[in-house]
Chain A
């Protein structure tokens, strides 16, 4: 009996206008979206290869370490273009790009050319937005009249006059409606993936395929939760017009309002100091350390007979007088090396409480946002695509560690070269590239282990599955007492 009922539901949906519209929308939007985003990715990858080549060339050609240490010339560290972002936009609208890492200043995004402002006003639709917004609306349209619509047409009364349990009728309705909705989506997604894969330079590794599969799995659970909600509201109401009205309002609240308000609600509940305040503290710390360094240098100068404007009239290039200058340079380099390390430590100390508070705020945002199934789906998908909040945090931590390593390396090498200069005396400095003990450290992003991704997405996946089961259970309980007249 269940099979026959499911078949009836599927046939009914297949012949309806809504199914045709769902098919066209899924196919057109998913194909357009992945095609455009895959082309963007290829362009970004191309740009990034050139930029990385130029940056590596610059590092390879560097003949002395002072450009890194004393001048603090920034190294553009590329953020690797992520092919998963073809499907999931994530918390950063751009893919790739670079971060400037200097031994003197804070991390800052590298200069990017100005893009069309229309893209900012209307961000491109990715798979998450399509499923979260458009497919969820389709789920409501598929389910809003599942029960009350049949009641209005009088066919529900007829059906229940046969010896068929109510729970079987509802289960068949759920399965029939859900299958007709999810199959066109999965087919369109499969075609979209094929379109992406035939683009040059786009390839996913085994782990990324598994994560893409997990995102699609999550999408099916999300659609199941929304569809169950639609069926539940349909059982709660007596007219399809009322049901569609209630569902559209719920959709607006759950898909558009709650995810947008959650960050602000958490901002009010758990405020954090503004970036401006932190910047002032950092600037004050830097000034204090710099002043202390200058005072120590001045004291050293006085002890060693270097007065004001000592360089005027100094016998430059004459030895052994030059030994004194080298001793001064070595002292200065050593002092600066310590000052820079101390500055970064001070900045870390200042940033740490705010970063902790920001983490707490982000966690609170996620928990408030979890009232909305769309938030659960979006957060979990972005994390699975390595394009979410945790990725941002992980990258920032790794870049900070790299900056500390680079700073220590640059100043160590400056000191090393000062000693080499002293040894060489009136000969030229040796070529740093030939004498240095180790090459310039390069940054490599370390992604988390596969288990970490699953752990992060497990809560949201669980909540979505729980919502699907709960709404269906509530629908069943309500339907058992439903007045079919």
Chain B
């Protein structure tokens, strides 16, 4: 009996206008979105490769002194474009990024160039927006008259006059509707993936495929939750006009309003201190360190002059005294920067903590909306979410320290070679047999397990919502007046 009922539901949906519209929408929007975003990715990847190559060439002629004392001299740290962003836009609208890292200042984002401003006004639709907004609306349309529609037409009364338990009828409706809803989605999603990987330069690693499948699974769970909610409202109401009205209002609140309002509510509850205070403290510390450096430089100069006086007319010894002074100055510079970096971290720490608290609160408030759960979890799985941004900035901070250490080590190495008498040694970083090239920034992605941990709470909430709505639907349907 159950299978017969499922079949009836499948056939009913199959011949309906809503199924045809769902198919067309899925096919057109998913394929267009994937095609456009893949093209963008390929273009970004090409630019990234060219830029990185040019930057590597430029770094071959840089001296360690430029890295250490070059003021606004910067080394660009490139973040490779993420192919997962073809499907999930995440919290940064651009794919790939260049950040100018100097050892003397906190890093600042690079220039992104001219873009069509219309893309900012209407951000590109990715898989998450499509599933989260359009498909959830289709799920509402599939479920709004599941029970009350049949009641209006009188077929529910007829059906229940047979010896079929109510839970079987409900389960069949849920399974049939769910299958018909997910079928066009999965098929066009598959077509979209095939379209993406047939584009040149576009390739996903095995692990990325698994994560993409996880995003798709999460999308299916989200749609099921919305469909179940639609069925619940359908059992709560007696006519489909009321049901559609309630569901559309609920959809507007849950999909459009709650996720947008959540960051602002969180900002009011857990505000972050203004950046100006931290900036002023940072500048004050910088001035203090510069003063300290000046007095130490003066002391070293005095010591060097004394050593040169003692050396008399011995050119070799005079030069040794000068080089030793430079090495001492290098070591002291390293110490000063370490002190400065510690101070930056100390100054930034309260603001970072406040920001983390605000982000966590935003997520918890937004979790009232299934769309927010889905969007947050998908962005994290695609390595394009809030955790990615934090991880990236932390790694950039580490890179800044590596760059400082490198500048120091290379400068000292060159000076030591000068001290050993190799006065013709080139003063370029990485030159010579024992020279090392300027380190390049490499973003380290988290382990697979971490992605799952980041998405676990949101996935759990979506699963609980689905089960809860189904239970409520079941309980309401048991007492539903079919007349």
Contact = CB atoms under 8 A, between A and B. Distances in A.
A116 interface: yes
B50 A252 contact: no
A111 interface: yes
Contacts of A365: 116, 118
B89 to A, nearest CB: 8
A149 B241 contact: yes
A431 interface: no
A114 B355 contact: yes
Contacts of A262: 118, 122
A324 to B, nearest CB: 28
Contacts of B386: 117-118
Contacts of A108: 111
B118 A125 contact: no
B120 A249 contact: no
Interface stretch (B197-205, B259-267, B429-437): B259-267
Given A29-B257, A382-B121, A121 B379 contact: yes
Interface string A234-270: 0000001110111011001100110111111011100
A299 interface: no
Contact of B32 (A18, A43, A241, A261): A261
Contacts of B257: 29, 125
B91 A17 contact: no
Interface string A109-146: 10101101111111111000000011001000100010
A119 B263 contact: yes
Contacts of A17: 242, 245-246
A379 B379 CA distance: 29
B321 interface: no
Contact of B366 (A118, A124, A244, A389): A118
A361 interface: yes
Nearest to A375: B122
B264 A124 contact: yes
Contacts, number: 194
Contacts of B28: 257
Interface string A278-301: 111001000000000000000000
A325 interface: no
Interface residues of A, number: 80
Nearest to A262: B118
A155 interface: no
B7 interface: no
B349 to A, nearest CB: 14
Given A118-B263, A118-B363, A249-B25, A362 B385 contact: no
B222 to A, nearest CB: 15
A25 B117 contact: no
DSSP class of A's interface residues: helix, strand, loop or mixed? helix
A354 interface: yes
Contacts of A278: 113
B309 to A, nearest CB: 19
B355 A355 contact: no
Contact of A389 (B51, B118, B244): B118
Interface stretch (B133-141, B166-174, B292-300, B472-480): B133-141
Contact of A362 (B118, B252, B359): B118
A32 B28 CA distance: 35
B17 interface: yes
Interface string A449-469: 000000000000000000000
B230 to A, nearest CB: 13
A389 B119 CA distance: 11
Contacts of B117: 91, 362, 388-389, 392
Contacts of A141: 244-245, 248
A120 B92 contact: yes
Contact of A369 (B47, B111, B118, B379): B118
Given A32-B261, A245-B18, A256-B133, A275 B120 contact: no
Contacts of A274: 43, 46-47, 113
A260 B379 CA distance: 20
B114 A50 contact: no
A362 to B, nearest CB: 6
Contacts of B121: 90-91, 259, 378-379, 382, 388-389
B54 A280 contact: yes
B362 interface: yes
B389 interface: yes
A313 to B, nearest CB: 15
A122 B32 CA distance: 22
B136 to A, nearest CB: 11
23 contacts: A91-B121, A92-B120, A116-B267, A116-B355, A116-B359, A118-B91, A118-B262, A120-B92, A121-B91, A134-B252, A134-B256, A248-B137, A252-B25, A260-B122, A260-B124, A261-B36, A262-B122, A274-B113, A358-B116, A369-B122, A375-B122, A389-B117, A392-B117
Interface of B: 17-18, 21, 25, 28-29, 32, 36, 39, 43, 46-47, 50-51, 54, 90-93, 108-109, 111-125, 133-134, 137, 141, 145, 149, 240-242, 244-246, 248-249, 252-253, 256-257, 259-264, 266-267, 274-276, 351, 355, 358-359, 362-363, 366, 372, 375-376, 379, 385-386, 389, 393
Ranked 3 nearest A-B pairs via Cβ: A275-B113, A117-B91, A113-B275
